[in-house]
Structure 1
């Protein structure tokens, strides 16, 4: 029997520290283990994770009977610079003291700097995965972050890079990353066994939901501004914004200024973050993503995989996933257009339902986490084999 690949997956944040990038990395870690790999997740023991064990073996059902997933939460500190230094030191120690066939790193930041150095010293390939593009993306961070230039120079030495979108691919090439080492692999999500179903009596008080970080690039102010317009057609319509982030207080103030009641069951609700995304979406009648900037949205993929009708802003990252009137509806990212398309989805709900089933089918065929994990393993195996071949 061939020994399983020993993969180290590094991400400073990992569930239960939840964001889109963390969710997809968690999905991928489990899928790689189910496919037979020996996966060690290396992350920081901070915030909510402080109460969790330093080493946790996660039970996964795998097809070959030999894969496993172990999460290692490395000691760090809540102090900004001290915490970064401790995490980098402990990540370096782990990577240089454990057998590793390949390291896969989320984001082009401090984890990547450490992993590329360890891979060079220990002889294993390192693959880096930028998690976004634009002003909040990894390449932009390297331009403005502390030691960003030095980290970027080290990152360019990695064996390969995974681009989850065309925007990420283009930014990498523009920033001097070797094009031949950039591999386009999409995000992937689990496919729920049971599809979303419409709620009885939904039309009396239709419910729209956003899931994600409450950050400026998500354009949630425009969605709240759209809500009084939506309620002209559906006076009892509710909007739930699931997540946390720096815009929370401003969003609450905005809703109050518009006279929108806040709280559970009210016009607008901000219940905080949750790891029960699937269950929450089943209580809604529409998923809305009004972003002005996206790479490949995990929240949008999850909604499509569940089969709930969607409205998304008509930006390149969302158009990569949603064809208008086929998988859902696209709207310009401004209040009037968002409101008009939301009302249109609810006014033609049978059509919206059929589009939601087409969206679910598309994700099953192109973006299931099992298929994406297989593509990653093929890339990893080729890099490992290439590393073993002596240079002529």
Structure 2
């Protein structure tokens, strides 16, 4: 099967990492997988070096990585023409858009093959009225959480398939952690955006560090993630005890070096980084918002705190790092919770959906029939 997955750009965001991981799994299963980005990273404010590393990794895993290089998202005719040319070269059996932005040029490109859309968030980034157009193009939607499914059911009129997110097996820890290090590292991972609400972590940082210092411990707080708003976060973080790492390709190593994972988002779909943290055996402190609530079970694998509450966030982090028996139990719970999110199961569920859709529709980009039989000697 020829599978074309479309993303906005090659960046270290969770959705993009999932798509690249799935492309690897598809290729290993014998399928022709292509990851196609609408824009170059620099055109949308992301890091070109991260883009280069991700594209190289996709290709090394046996899949194809391409970018349309669309600089102007409002130029729909130009975008549709570029997309149509790319699709004629790829000749996909199924197209999976992981960004709603792809559906507008797809509507003009008229691909003639099954189209799937995953909206990787519990909030819409476009007017709900756009679903009237999407339903004309999309054969099936994919929901990644209960909240995302509820949102799609409110607006979409095509079938919806629930497929849980997943993370790479390279994050998998062999054993749970017995206790946090004496000088612990607190890690947050995700694209720098208003959704992630890193300013709340900045405000929690100093009281958190001071509380642990009173125990004779030196805490390290790290934020891994880039994006168009990274420069603003650098200004806000000036003078705060927080390390801003920018976009990182070695997040699995950062997880192994960390003692606790923090998510302070205002809303979520189902964060890939949180799955990676659980697979790494890290207890999780997260805001009690959609997506996070489906992953974090208080007292089992982490703690939930109100959003935009730095005092509650700092208190939960300190308490988790200060009780060794509770910490060990939460680490065991994290590894247990992570079992639901294997990449193999996620890839298999996607392939099942693609097979169902391709069996009911004939691809438009089929090879042109030969005008006459050709002898092997010609």
TM-score computed with the length of structure 1 as normaliser = 0.80
3-state SS in 1 of match to 2:63: strand
Secondary structure at 1:244 match in 2: coil
| 1:380 alignment partner, one of 351, 354, 366 | 354
CA-atom RMSD in angstroms: 2.9
1:157-196 equivalence runs, <5 A = 157=136, 158-175=138-155, 177-178=156-157, 181-192=159-170, 193-195=172-174
Mapped partners of 1:162, 1:115: distance in 2 = 18
Residue in structure 2 matched with residue 155 of structure 1 by the alignment: 134
The alignment partner of 1:296 has SS state of coil
Q: Report if aligned partners of 1:101, 1:125 keep a CA contact under 8 Å in 2.
A: yes
- 1:230 corresponds in structure 2 to 208
Kept after mapping to 2: 8 A contact 1:56/1:72: no
SS at match of 1:208: strand
Report 1 or 2 for greater relative contact order, CA contacts < 8 Å, sequence distance ≥ 6: 2
Match of 1:64 in 2: none
Q: Any idea what the Cα deviations from partners look like across 1:81-102, whole Å, max 9, x if unmatched?
A: 45x6544322111223543211
When residues 154 and 337 of structure 1 are mapped into structure 2, their CA distance, relative to the original with a 3 A threshold, is same
Q: Distance in 2 between matches of 1:228 and 1:57?
A: 40
Compared CA separation, residues 69 and 352, structure 1 to 2 (3 A): same
TM-superposed deviation, 1:316 = 2.6
Distance 1:54 1:273 in 2: 15
Shift of 1:388: 5.2
| Separation in 2, partners of 1:360, 1:165 | 19
Tell me the equivalent position of 1:43: 37
Residue 317, structure 1, aligned to residue 291, structure 2: yes
Partner residue of 2:104 out of 108, 113, 116: 113
Aligned pairs for 1:203-218 within 5 A: 203=182, 205-218=183-196
Tell me the CA shift for residue 254 of structure 1: 4.2
Aligned counterpart in structure 2 of residue 221 of structure 1, from 186, 199, 203: 199
Give unpaired runs (5+ residues) of structure 2: 43-47, 364-378
Matched position secondary structure for 2:204: helix
Aligned length: 349
Q: Which residue of 2 aligns with 1:8?
A: 4
Partner of 1:279: 253
Deviation string, structure 1 residues 297-348 (Cα, Å, up to 9, x no partner): 0111111111122111122311101111111222222111111110111111
TM-aligned CA distance change 1:168 to 1:197, over 3 Å: closer
> What are the equivalent positions in structure 2 for 1:241-260 lying under 5 Å apart?
241-256=223-238, 260=240
> Tell me, which stretches of 5 or more residues in structure 1 are unaligned?
61-67, 144-148, 261-266
Aligned residue in 1 for 2:371: none
**Counterparts in 2 of 1:163 and 1:284: CA distance versus 1, 3 Å:** same
Q: 1:121 to 1:228 in 2, by over 3 A?
A: closer
2:80 is the counterpart of 1:88: yes
Q: 1:239 aligns with which of 221, 235, 240?
A: 221
Partner of 1:352: 327
